[in-house]
Amino acid sequence: MTFEEKTLSEETIYKGKIIDLKRQEVTVKSGTSWREIIVHSGGAVVIAVTGPRKIAMIRQFRKPAEKVMFEVPAGKIDPGEEPVDAAIRELKEETGFTASSVRYLTRFYPTVGYSREVLYLYLMEGLTPGDTDFDENEAIDMEEWSIDDLHEMVMRGEIDDAKTIIAIEYANILVK
């Protein structure tokens, strides 16, 4: 039987703009231990269908990875915001598109070992182009890519962003 840890105490170690860091004392099979947990408001991830078997992809520099990452559009859910509203907002901000069809697909934990972050994945179709609305500190390039080419890139290990890998594989199955 799987042992479920119980929280005995919790303190906030760091309170930031994007994340908080909590330290918890928890029960474990052999007594007690400590956990450090990142608290994040979550994010919305978008499969933006731009044409037959094509989706929007973005490139942006990501400081934690120290490189330009190749990703599907995505972003943080603001406090009090519904995930679907964040997805619609992020699509517009990062690509300029608005969608006539928005479909929830799934949710997942990208780093369950130390973070409470949950990502919500949406399929958006019937796109209408418009102007982007980047955050003041964002520099993003948007490109349209064949899902077949993206799937092959995933299989060759050329895409290393987890949410993007998940989105591409969903797109490979769902998008005609």
Read off φ and ψ for residue 57, nearest 5 degrees: -125, 155
Positions annotated as catalytic residues are 136
Q: Give CA–CA dist 120/148, Å, rounded.
A: 23
Cβ–Cβ < 8 Å for 165, 154: yes
Residues whose CB falls within 8 Å of the CB of residue 27, separated by 6 or more in sequence, listed in order? 5, 6, 8
Q: Residue 14 has which token pair?
A: 């760091």
| Beta pairing class for 119-128 and 43-51 | parallel
What are the E-state strand segments in 41-92? 43-51, 54-62, 67-71, 74-76
Q: Give CA–CA dist 121/90, Å, rounded.
A: 12
The residue behind tokens 């998940």 is 166
